[in-house]
A and B are shown apart, each in its own frame.
Chain A
Amino acid sequence: MSKRALMIGNSHVGAYMRALQQSDQDLGIDLECVAAHGDRLQAYTIEDGLFCGNFDDPDGKAARAGRKERARLADFDAILVTGMRFSIFHVTQVFRDLGVVAMDSARDHETAARNGMTLISEALLRRIIVDRLSNALAMDVVRDLRQATDLPIWVMCQPRPTRQVLVKGTRFGTFCSALERGSGAFISETYERLAHETCARVGAHYMAQPPETIDEDLFTDTRFMVGTLRPPFWQKNGRKVDFRHANARYGERMLTHLAAKLA
């Protein structure tokens, strides 16, 4: 029998909704969704067991896409949270200026300085990253949900970007420098470990990005991203490209893993 889950998030819920629409197989999960683009869920409220997104939907776009504005928590077996600034993007930024001795690019103070990095302790790095992740809107939602319900809460990993972030025009300096310095594996491992830890601290589980979807530590294999187009997107050679949002194939993998956990 399928589990009923409430998914709360932003544009990253798309991968999961499409997975359910497009999959040939029973994923073992039924989803209802309260979501709004970007940070528009920040006015959410939880009162009397009712999660309310409190976002404007004047043209009914959200409703047409199957997204609700409110949901009663007691109607579900689990709550899923995704996006809302809980992502590797915010972690990778830290490594633009900072390094620790466990990284080859900052193995000693001279190497760190040559690479334009300030050497800090692993303890401080951990605190900085945990602070960043903890301050994500997703974690505000999780903390408040934890107060309101005993249901299991799963934070579903927002996918890493595609390699598109290395290309001029959509270039993210932080990802480029991480790749140049060979710190991708370290950043990826650090992100996964601290994402688990941050979620555990607020009584939630973290569903990591499936290894088969990851391309060289920092990126998502394009096969799991192609076919999506959600704002914000970039223009490249006259074509719109989306390097942040996963497709139904990614959503299906994640939901399959989740269903196994919930079974």
Chain B
Amino acid sequence: MTHPYEDIPPEGFWRSGVVETDRMDWPGLHKPKFHLTHTTRVATAGSCFAQHIGRYLRLAGINVLDGEPAPKGMGEELATRFGYGLYSARYGNIYTARQMRELLEDAMAGRVDKRLFLTRKGRWYDMLRPGVEPTGCASLEEAMELRRAHLEAVLALISSTDVLVFTLGLTEGWIDKRAGKTLAMAPGVIAGRYRERRFAFHNFSYDEVLEDLRETLRLMQELNPNIKLLLTVSPVPLTATASGDHVLSASSYSKSVLRAAAGDVAAGEAAVDYFPSYEIVTSTAMAATAYEANLRGVTQEMVETVMGVFLVAHGLLDALAEMEAGETAHGARAGSDVDLRGLRALSGPAETDEEDADVEAPEDELICEEALLEALRK
């Protein structure tokens, strides 16, 4: 070897790895540490982009767990509005690593703090998941009992999960100083009233996110020693920042910290892997097609590409193609166009099956409380 770059594979060079590569498949981009199969019990959690991941994993026939299923006979629209089926439990959007850590701590301690329930127009809201009861609860007692039931469901879920796919969304959060807990939303957006003495803005640092992810893993493994954590970073930029910076800089900071922390946890822990959905979407090579007109929502085509890369890397698209129509399965190979068409056939606009209709929903139709911030703009 005359220089250290001599034996580097094509994906190690920008030209062959990005400019000239097949940007539908991104060969070599994701090399899973552990493989998902159709029998792997997968749970999902995270920011709103994680809803795409859960939905496509289900479409691909992956065993995505649902620890709090919607009541029988409940319409899909109503179920979604009340936080059912978005993730593997009704925790709503978990934007920060700290929220995930604190959710597990509370679940394991069976701890429900009444200070974390705030009112609006006489209705009570769980500030750790305010979106799952869109009109609030009739009483504090009801809201607290529902949280207790939720925490038990989270415990049962983590105890029976093989792989938790956790999508990191933000570093910015709001902390209730009295309760010492990170809220899902800024106070006053859905319920409560913002008071400086009680609530504090916090932009989590790299060290904090790293520690929170490590603690999340430790807590999960305490419940379930064999569980694995698959991290992704949401490519959806911040709706708004309270940092005082320009939202572009703030978004870049958030995503950079999350990306670095996720990568480092994955590098240091055998039970943690990182999937580069963030890189695929935000790559300069994909700039023209990645985002909706609002420059936040990820296009359906791009979500398909992301999930195609994921499923191919895990060898799941082959199996899916075989499970699906015979003509699709013929000659199906990992990474081939045929495979991706197989995925699109399940999810694309040509489908008329009502069950698949939600796949066509653009980002704006995800349940994303963070987007409420836009409505508060002066």
Contacts and interface: CB of A to CB of B under 8 A. Distances in A.
A118 interface: yes
Contact of A127 (B78, B142, B149, B152): B78
Contact of A121 (B75, B78, B138, B148): B138
Bin chain A's interface residue count. 20 to 34
Contacts of B133: 121, 123-124
A258 interface: no
A120 B148 contact: no
Contact of B137 (A109, A113, A118, A123): A123
B146 A131 contact: no
Nearest to B150: A109
A98 interface: yes
Contacts of B72: 97
Given A98-B71, A109-B152, A122 B138 contact: yes
B146 A123 contact: no
Interface string B137-159: 11101110110110010000000
B126 to A, nearest CB: 10
Contacts of A97: 71-72
A100 interface: yes
Contacts of B82: 124, 127
A71 interface: no
A108 B136 contact: no
Nearest to B75: A131
A121 B73 CA distance: 17
A108 B148 contact: yes
A164 B104 CA distance: 49
A121 B137 contact: yes
A128 B74 contact: yes
Interface string A128-163: 100110000000000000000000000000000000
A15 to B, nearest CB: 29
Nearest to A122: B138
B139 to A, nearest CB: 7
A230 to B, nearest CB: 27
Interface in A32-73: none
B135 interface: yes
A101 B71 contact: no
B150 to A, nearest CB: 9
Contacts of B139: 101
A120 B145 contact: no
Given A109-B148, A123-B133, A123-B135, A101 B142 contact: yes
B142 A122 contact: yes
B361 to A, nearest CB: 21
A121 B137 CA distance: 6
A108 B78 contact: no
Contacts of A113: 149, 152
Contacts, number: 55
Contact of A101 (B73, B75, B145): B145
A104 to B, nearest CB: 13
Given A97-B71, A98-B71, A124-B133, A109 B138 contact: no
Contact of A120 (B71, B141, B152): B71
A218 interface: no
A207 interface: no
Contacts of A132: 73
A102 B139 CA distance: 10
Most A CB within 10 A of own CB, among B138, B139, B141: B138
A79 interface: no
A94 B152 CA distance: 23
Contact of A128 (B71, B142, B149): B71
A112 B138 contact: no
Given A121-B137, A122-B138, A123-B136, A109 B145 contact: yes
Nearest to A110: B148
A118 B71 CA distance: 8
A120 B75 CA distance: 15
A128 B145 contact: no
Nearest to A124: B82
B142 A100 contact: yes
Contacts of B146: 109, 119-121
B117 to A, nearest CB: 13
Contacts of A123: 133, 135-138
A122 B82 CA distance: 12
Nearest to A120: B71
B145 to A, nearest CB: 5
B145 A131 contact: no
Contacts of B143: 121
A127 B78 CA distance: 8
A127 B146 CA distance: 17
16 contacts: A93-B73, A94-B71, A97-B71, A98-B71, A101-B141, A102-B142, A109-B148, A118-B71, A120-B71, A122-B137, A122-B142, A123-B133, A124-B133, A127-B82, A128-B71, A131-B78
Given A109-B148, A127-B78, 9 more contacts: A101-B141, A102-B138, A108-B148, A109-B146, A113-B149, A120-B71, A121-B146, A123-B133, A131-B74
Which 5 A-B residue pairings sit nearest by Cβ, starting from the closest? A109-B149, A101-B142, A119-B149, A123-B135, A109-B148
